[in-house]
């Protein structure tokens, strides 16, 4: 393989390029990305970056791929691929041939309307626009009580906005289980967020903002709506290529779509499973790039699930499957004080709530069959 193209320059694309060079690939490496900024940390956008005193450019990641890996970077949008001929086409008509292709085009935020008062948060430019609007202290309705919605609610409250958050069921329960979700929801309420348990039927513009209609018929009027309702994979450019299965990009356990085409990150159902979080994008990219160079000799995907969030003064890290049932062993600290190290030994999960612990140690605790008396 002499000529590899990477479509998408998020963390998966960056990691894939880095992996190729580290593994001795000396051929031509071309990265195509439509975001005007160099690769940045998306997780930071909904956390510290909503603080108006933060420098958004601090989210830019070290670009080793471009600086030291002799990469050609094309700022542009890939609009099509001929997988048999080995060519991708860009929006301006330019064609770039490849003999190996890495698909890492991620996702885009879903939304209800095209109205400018409805915000979403996926890109650095989204963060700049949202932060600037929130700084004017509008009334805000946030739709979605997952990590993104809750982190934006936290940032909006810190900026002095009136914040209502609509979520069907307990916020954060899907991502972290009920024990941690109750703690985060109580913290949100303590910080002045009004949480409304409902489904949203529609969002429509008014003369002064937007109206959110709920399933019980009631309406919420606010100047700004932030939709944090999930994302859609950027696979439009793959339509008709023969690479999609029932509209999805689905890879094997080493990220392969074909022998010379692999995929990684939020865009792909890796091994049939979609895991749209930061550490998964990195692990998948390492494996997919290795599979492109070494085929079956690449390792199979096998990573410890890991996720973290910062909201309402709480930092929560969780390793292992989401603990949907069962009470944890409180290894240290206390749930009442919202500072604790928790273990679900039968499930293989552990969580640290406002408790300093390096991630590798949290992984070890999660995997241990018995709970240590103390980890200190």
Ligand X SMILES: Cc1cc2nc3c(=O)[nH]c(=O)nc-3n(C[C@H](O)[C@H](O)[C@H](O)COP(=O)(O)OP(=O)(O)OC[C@H]3O[C@@H](n4cnc5c(N)ncnc54)[C@H](O)[C@@H]3O)c2cc1C
Residues that bind ligand X (CB under 6 A): 7-13, 32-35, 42-43, 45-46, 77-78, 104-107, 121-122, 147-148, 234, 237, 265-267, 276-279, 281, 307-309
Nearer to ligand X, 98 or 237 (CB): 237
Give the separation between CA 311 and CA 150, rounded to whole angstroms. Answer: 7
Our CA angle for 207, 117, 109, nearest 5°, is 145
The answer to whether the beta carbons of residues 232 and 216 sit under 8 Å apart is no
Nearer Cβ to ligand X (7/212): 7
Q: Which is nearer to ligand X, 110 or 364 (CB)?
A: 110
Closer CB to ligand X, residue 22 or residue 201?
A: 22
CB 125 to ligand X: min, Å: 10
Residue 320 or 331: the one with the smaller Cβ distance to ligand X is 320
For the bound state, the minimum distance from the C-beta of residue 75 to ligand X, rounded and expressed in Å, comes to 9
Angle between helical axes of 173-190 and 147-158 (0-180°, round to 10): 20
- Looking at the chain, how many residues does it have? 376
Q: In whole angstroms, what is the distance from residue 115 CA to residue 129 CA?
A: 14
Say which DSSP state 327 is in: P
Backbone angles phi, psi at 43, to 5 degrees: -55, -30
Closer to ligand X at the Cβ: 167 or 371?
Answer: 167
- Dihedral sign, CA of 232, 233, 239, 245? negative
Coil/strand/helix, residue 282: helix
Find the shortest distance in angstroms from Cβ 94 to ligand X.
12
Taking the complex as a whole, how short is the minimal distance between the CB of residue 82 and ligand X, in angstroms? 15
C-alpha–C-alpha distance, residues 270 and 107, integer Å: 14
Q: How far is Cα 134 from Cα 50, in angstroms, rounded to an integer? A: 9
Q: How far is the CB of 306 from ligand X (least distance, A)?
A: 7
Shortest reach from residue 375's CB to ligand X, in Å: 23
């Amino acid at each position: 393989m002499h000529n590899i193209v990477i479509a998408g320059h998020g963390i998966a694309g960056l990691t894939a390029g880095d992996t190729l060079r580290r593994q001795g690939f000396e051929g031509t490496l071309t990265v195509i990305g439509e975001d005007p900024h160099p690769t940045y940390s998306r997780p930071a956008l909904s956390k510290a970056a909503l603080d108006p005193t933060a420098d958004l450019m601090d989210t830019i990641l070290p670009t080793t791929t471009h600086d030291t890996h002799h990469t050609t970077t094309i700022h542009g949008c890939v609009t099509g691929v001929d997988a048999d001929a080995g060519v991708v086409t860009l929006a301006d008509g330019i064609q770039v041939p490849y003999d190996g292709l890495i698909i890492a085009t991620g996702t885009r935020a879903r939304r209800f309307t095209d109205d400018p008062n409805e915000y979403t948060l996926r890109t650095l430019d989204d963060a700049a626009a949202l932060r600037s609007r929130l700084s004017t202290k509008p009334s805000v309705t946030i739709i979605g009580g997952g990590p993104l919605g809750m982190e934006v609610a936290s940032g909006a409250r810190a900026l002095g906005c009136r914040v209502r958050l609509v979520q069907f069921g307990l916020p954060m329960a899907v991502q972290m289980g009920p024990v941690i979700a109750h703690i985060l929801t109580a913290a949100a309420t303590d910080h002045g967020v009004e949480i409304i348990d409902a489904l949203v039927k529609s969002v429509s513009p008014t003369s002064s903002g937007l109206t959110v209609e709920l399933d019980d018929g009631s309406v919420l009027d606010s100047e700004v709506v932030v939709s944090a309702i999930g994302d859609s994979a950027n696979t439009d450019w793959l339509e008709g290529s023969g690479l999609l299965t029932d509209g999805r990009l689905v890879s094997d356990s080493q990220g392969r779509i074909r022998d010379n085409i692999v995929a990684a990150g939020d865009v792909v159902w890796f091994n049939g499973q979609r895991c749209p979080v930061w550490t998964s994008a990195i692990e998948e990219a390492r494996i997919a790039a290795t599979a492109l160079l070494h085929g079956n000799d690449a390792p199979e995907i096998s990573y410890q699930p890991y996720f973290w969030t910062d909201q309402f003064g709480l930092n929560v890290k969780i390793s292992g499957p989401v603990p949907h049932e069962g009470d944890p062993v409180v290894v240290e600290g206390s749930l009442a004080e919202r500072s604790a190290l928790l273990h679900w030994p039968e499930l293989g999960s552990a969580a640290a709530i406002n408790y300093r612990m390096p991630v590798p140690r949290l992984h070890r605790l999660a995997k241990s069959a018995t709970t240590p008396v103390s980890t200190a």
